[in-house]
Amino acid sequence: MKRDLISIADFTRGELEEIFSCAQRLKADRKASWPHPILAGKTLAMIFEKPSLRTRVTFEVGMVQLGGAAVYLAPPDIGLGTRETVPDVAQNLSRWVDIIMARTFAHQTVVDLARHATIPVINGLSDLLHPCQILADCLTVIEHRGRLDGLKVAFVGDGNNVVNSWLNAASKFPFTFALACPAGYEPNAEVLTRARQQGAQVTITQSVAEAVRDADAVYTDVWTSMGQERESAMRREAFKAYQVNATVMAQAKQDALVMHCLPAHRGEEITADVLEGPRSVVLDQSENRLHIQKAIMVWLLR
């Protein structure tokens, strides 16, 4: 039976730990310059409705390092949902390639691709979820703290797709997740409810101090995501008290990690001194996108 990675919620803790272990092995092999052409002869189709530095490079390079090939499909190449229907795209790609990654606006697009494809589909980002990023983030925390269990991750800012996927992760591992956001910018209600029903330890507050108190990691993201540009002025006003800076970090644990999925807007959601300071692991997160996504592809195509 084929598997897809649409949401972390669809996986068991054991399956996620298998993916983490695979990523660690592949990363160690890469650092030792040991080739691992596990997916030789396989091809990845990469569908992009949104541009991305990290997603494109890490998936394309990752597939090459695994011995396979990747095909980049920009919006004009397909006209997803306009020139070609989503089912038609899914069914045609299923005849040509071995796995699909899609970075889309509407989450339903990824869901429909997976429903109609006979090959695995990976959610490279949607307006609802960002599972690959959060799996890379979890791997980064494990590398620096040795575990996820019993830790506290605090997020300061918008209850966006990154937060929604953190909620899904918190339903699989016993760490505490605290979100500080202004009223009206809470995470998706359905995702939050499901996570809590599955045992996630979650706090939603408007107080930054409450969220970051005793946090092992403090995370933030841009205040305005792609597709929200018309809201940028309103969002800057709403989030002006939600900047991660030295004062905020002083309220977390002394050795708390600083995390950001990038790209960052220095001077808005985070200050440059914190983003580039000694506690920042943002480049580790970025690197781990490569290793975790390689592991995901290997796991799905095993």
Give the residue numbers annotated as catalytic, written as ranges.
103, 130, 133, 221, 261, 289
Token pair for 193: 């409810």
Q: Are 159 and 133 in contact (CB under 8 A)?
A: no
Closest CA relative to residue 265, chosen from 243, 237, 249, 280: 243
Burial 21-59 (b: 16+ CB within 10 A, else e): ebbbebbebbeeeeeeebbeebbbbbbbbbebebbbebb
Q: What whole-number distance in Å separates Cα of residue 241 and Cα of residue 192?
A: 24
Q: What whole-number distance in Å separates Cα of residue 217 and Cα of residue 230?
A: 31
Q: Are 133 and 125 in contact (CB under 8 A)?
A: yes
Closest CA relative to residue 5, chosen from 142, 138, 165: 165
Angle between helices 282-300 and 53-65 (to 10 degrees): 50
Task: Please tell me the number of Cα atoms within 13 Å of 77 on its side-chain side.
Answer: 11
Q: What whole-number distance in Å separates Cα of residue 269 and Cα of residue 224?
A: 10
